[in-house]
Amino acid sequence: MPILKQSASDAIRTFKHNSRRTNHLRDGDVKAEDRFMLAPVQSTSHRLRAGESIFTIGSCFARNVERHLDMMGFDVINRRIYDEAERLAILPGIDNRYTPFSMLNEFRWALDPDFRTDYEAALYKVGRGLCFDPHMHYAMRRFPVATALGRRDYLNECNRSITRCRTIIMTLGLAEAWWDSKLGLYLNWSPQMRWIDQEPDRFEFHLLGSEDVCEALESIYALLDIHGHPDFQILLTVSPIEMMATFRPMDASVANMHSKSILRAAAGAFVEKHQNVDYLPSFEIALLSDPWAVWAGDRVHIQDDAVDFIVRSVMAPYLADEGDVQAVRAADSLSERSHQKLFRKQRQLEKRLERLEMEKAHLETSVGNLQRSNTNYLRQILELQQSGD
């Protein structure tokens, strides 16, 4: 079934009015710096007010987005969970949610009064009153059960603040998920092997399809429609961060691209269905820009400068008509500085690569000379031995 249907006249009209209907990088007049950092043109459904409250949820890339939104002056309410960091053993990344259904769990626990879970039954007891929480970040292991339960209650309380947030930013991370058949819940993280050994029929590994992802997103939308801000808007994106490992019988990079493709297809279908949902192309900026300028040394995470460029690029259109000229200029200025910094870094890397290539050529020449000298030396030795005989 097509995601979108248009008449021929509407499609031609859209084509004519779309300034980016072709790949702008084919234009010979495009500046060099614009060739290595992609900045797609976006359509927006609403505008952000300077300093307004924003709720974010999703994978680890969402934490980068939060930090940069906070630097831009927005009230990112998720960051308040760290107010109780010491008392509840809250570690960085506690609110990372990797699959669409683990995000749905958070919305249900926070907003749906009819959604009841025996949360203690969802914890894996490791002995001595300690547990592993598969609905949190994987680092949330070996904590007292009471601490884990208190942490869940506190997180639910913090997440209820979503009701006063007009803008919700959701970052989709993984399509590989684990299902707890005993509680009827998807986990945020894979169950520990000892737990699987103890209850081998309890857990299932699922590769979600785009229809499954859309189902989770529609359920979140329905909850926000009932319990959320009366004028809620969703900004949806896909994390460019690669998965750590796959449970499928294939190379992790291939599995990762399949997973991201599923999420991206679902995001596109979901956006087409709702006028108050926009797609933020952070995934495309990261993957289609120069990798030297985007990726950190592990080729998994993104350089901080690149995150800054991505966040400011995708958020700038939401400020453009707000009238807060000072905030817009500040965002544009910082984005331009970040852009130029990335451009300078790429030039430095290219020069370094040129030097390394020259050194390589010099070493290859030296090795060749040494090999020839060695050959001549061996020939002379052989001749001396033969003359002696």
Please report, for the chain, the start and end positions of each structural domain, with discontinuous segments joined by +: 42-280
What pLDDT shows up at residue 179?
96
Is the pLDDT at 14 greater than 80? The verdict is: no
Is the pLDDT at 333 greater than 60? The verdict is: no
More confident residue, 6 or 253: 253
What pLDDT shows up at residue 388?
65
Question: Would you say 233 and 45 are in contact if contact means Cβ atoms under 8 Å apart?
Answer: yes
pLDDT band at 329 (very low <50, low <70, confident <90, very high): very low
> Across the beta sheet with 130-132, what order do the strands follow?
124-127, 130-132, 141-144
Is the pLDDT at 170 greater than 90? The verdict is: yes
**For range 236-251, the mean pLDDT:** 92
**For range 362-371, the mean pLDDT:** 82
CATH number of 42-280: 3.40.50
Which stretch, 140-154, 274-288, 305-319, has highest mean pLDDT? 274-288
pLDDT band at 304 (very low <50, low <70, confident <90, very high): confident
Give the bridge partners for 143, in sequence order: 131
What pLDDT shows up at residue 331?
46
Phi/psi for 204 (5° steps) reads: -135, 145
Cβ neighbours of 178 (radius 10 Å):
21
